[in-house]
Amino acid sequence: MRTGATEVLAVLQQRGVDVCFANPGTTELDIVRALEAQPAMRCVLGLQENVCTGAADGYGRMTGTPALTLLHLGPGFANGIANLHNARRAHTPIINLIGDHMSWHLAFDAPLTSDIESLARPVSGWVRRMTGAADAVAAAAEAVDRAHDNGGQGVTLIFPADYQAEKMDAVETAAAKAEAAHPASTVSGATQTAARTISTPPPRADVDVNTCADRLRAAGKIVFLLGGGGETSGLGERAQRAAARLCDALGATAYAETFPARAARGGGLPDFDRLPYFPEPARAVLDAADLIVLAGAPTPITYFGYDGHPSQLVENDRVLVLGSAGDDIAAPLEALAQVLDAPAYLPRSHDIPEVDDGALSPAGIAATVARLLPANAIVSVEGGTCGYPFYAASAGAARHTTLTNTGGAIGQGLPVALGAAVACPDRRVIALLSDGSTQYTIQTLWTLAHEALPVVVLIAANHQYGILRNELKRGGQTLGERAAGLTSLDRPRIDWVELAHAYGVDATSVETTGELAAAMTRALDRPGPTLIAMQL
């Protein structure tokens, strides 16, 4: 039987949406029933909604196409907001499909009734409440395009249960209706909402190559800021090579944005550092520059507000914008390199520091992981403990893709690894994580086991919220007793091996770099997921 739900799924699938990260409830049951008729849409169950939304983020970063999330009303959606916040910062296309009460039931304020729109807007570039089955099909068709707007964004469809069950014409008819309805830029009932945007965006260059080249020639010290995303982003392979050529030709330097959504790394690519996180070292890079070229990166803003430092670290008149997230950055960089007669790119060779066997340290972990990284791996990095050291060491690793936490909502690294593994079954996925942040979405381990995904989960277990301690101790302040208590995970220490086993994931604990290397080698040889607890 064709219903609103079957037609919505059919239209989504026709338009390339064929993975659904799901945690449905009673108001989504007609969508669940409709999935029986869409066997080609892969369904991946998460035991908590941030698992689903984080996985959709990882999937979208790797494929450039939106995954579907299937979530339960306002409270279920709310559980997934944190990772949608990260996805918004990563410009990841995602389509959230949320059931709601029967439309005629809403006014009675039943226990699960909630203001879904208010919850959805902060993390959705486009929010639509469907007003009937035919409207739902049109909205689903439009959603796929809307998910690609603004360089990629989350869109949220609210689908009342009565319209899910509403009987409809055959799928061909519905799809045709959608096709007819879609190109119209507004659909009746559409609620278009814009996320908060920077108050004073720098003027966008028209990317006229000769004008840009003139400005580069005229500038003294130049810093390129490369922003990550798809293949042609500022941190794709082509853009990085072109940026290296421009640095050679101009005596310039280049940095990756601090938290790229996706960056190519290693395998002879240049070793561009990430722009530092704290304002002092970031300003040491930026204050000395006469021109900052934004190549897919946003204007550098301090992560938090710090007294004595401006929020926006460079004034607009020192900025040249080559393009933003979602734009092709490789082409203008290559054109500039040609116009400026930059030398050809020769693959670089970078050393991975040698480490002796011995007690684990962040630097030792970083070097060991970098050395053992298989070609074409995907590394999902979250947590300050090993994230920066690994980025430093990974220039000498085999070619790989790095995914980082773009929005600062923690609990993102493991679900993103899950989504990347679903997106790229022929690539090895490594999740390089910290113990504090991984707890927020720990249920991801079950889905890794359930789907038998070859993800190697590396947990840097220092039994504390290290980043908060670093912030608390800035400027020589001492750590008070309450502050120590609220940043300590030491009493009791979480047993990560038992935790992984509980969810059906193979696990081991290591205390030395030698043990880590052996465990990682074994893990990479296995088909399913493995967790390695790295005791610091």
131 binds a second copy (CB under 8 A): no
State the burial class of residue 506 (Cβ atoms within 10 Å of its Cβ: 0-12, 13-18, 19+): middle
Q: How many C-beta atoms lie closer than 10 Å to residue 518's C-beta?
A: 13
Cβ proximity to a second copy, 420 vs 533, nearer residue: 533
In order of 122, 428, 520, the CA distances from 418 in angstroms are 24, 11, 18
Contact segment (CB under 8 A) with a second copy among 143-151, 210-218, 378-386, 493-501 equals 493-501
Give SS3 for 352.
coil
Determine if residue 509 is left, alpha or beta; phi over 0 gives left, psi from -120 to 50 gives alpha, anything else beta. Answer: beta
Contact 405, 281 (CB under 8 A): no
Q: Could you tell me where the beta strands, DSSP code E, fall in 290-445?
A: 291-295, 319-323, 377-381, 400-404, 429-434
* Residue 86 backbone dihedrals phi, psi, to 5 degrees: -60, -40
Which among 193, 46, 52, 44 is positioned nearest to 129, based on CA atoms? 193
- Least distance from C-beta 263 to a second copy, angstroms? 16
Q: Which of 4, 58, 66, 74 binds a second copy (CB under 8 A)?
A: 74
Q: Which of 2, 15, 85, 129 binds a second copy (CB under 8 A)?
A: 85
- Least distance from C-beta 447 to a second copy, angstroms? 11
How far, in Å, CA of 520 to CA of 508, rounded?
Answer: 10
Cβ proximity to a second copy, 33 vs 318, nearer residue: 33
388 binds a second copy (CB under 8 A): no
Q: What's the CA angle centered on 111, arms 105 and 112, to 5 degrees?
A: 75
Q: Which of 10, 62, 442, 458 binds a second copy (CB under 8 A)?
A: 442
Contacts of 498 (CB under 8 A, 6+ apart): none
Q: Which of 13, 25, 204, 209 binds a second copy (CB under 8 A)?
A: 25
156 binds a second copy (CB under 8 A): no
48 binds a second copy (CB under 8 A): yes
Contact segment (CB under 8 A) with a second copy among 68-76, 179-187, 341-349, 372-380 equals 68-76
406 binds a second copy (CB under 8 A): yes
114 binds a second copy (CB under 8 A): yes
Residues 257-276: x/- map of binding to a second copy (CB under 8 A)?
--x-----------------
Cβ proximity to a second copy, 65 vs 438, nearer residue: 438
191 binds a second copy (CB under 8 A): no
Cβ proximity to a second copy, 476 vs 492, nearer residue: 492
Q: Which of residues 336-365 bind a second copy (CB under 8 A)?
A: none
Cβ proximity to a second copy, 234 vs 396, nearer residue: 234
Q: Which of 13, 32, 190, 276 binds a second copy (CB under 8 A)?
A: 32
Which among 264, 312, 7, 306 is positioned nearest to 140, based on CA atoms? 7
21 binds a second copy (CB under 8 A): no
Cβ proximity to a second copy, 236 vs 411, nearer residue: 411
Which among 419, 229, 248, 187 is positioned nearest to 326, based on CA atoms? 229
Hey, CA dihedral for 164, 165, 169, 171, is it positive or negative? positive
Q: Which of 311, 316, 338, 521 binds a second copy (CB under 8 A)?
A: 311
Which two three-digit tokens encode residue 475? 């400027």
How far, in Å, CA of 201 to CA of 204, rounded?
Answer: 8
Q: Which of 189, 502, 518, 521 binds a second copy (CB under 8 A)?
A: 502
How far, in Å, CA of 62 to CA of 423, rounded?
Answer: 7
112 binds a second copy (CB under 8 A): yes
Q: Which of 13, 14, 18, 47 binds a second copy (CB under 8 A)?
A: 47
DSSP state of 351: P
Cβ proximity to a second copy, 159 vs 345, nearer residue: 159
Contact segment (CB under 8 A) with a second copy among 138-146, 245-253, 263-271, 442-450 equals 442-450
Q: Which of residues 460-489 bind a second copy (CB under 8 A)?
A: 467-468, 471-472, 480-483, 485-486, 489
How far, in Å, CA of 512 to CA of 358, rounded?
Answer: 5
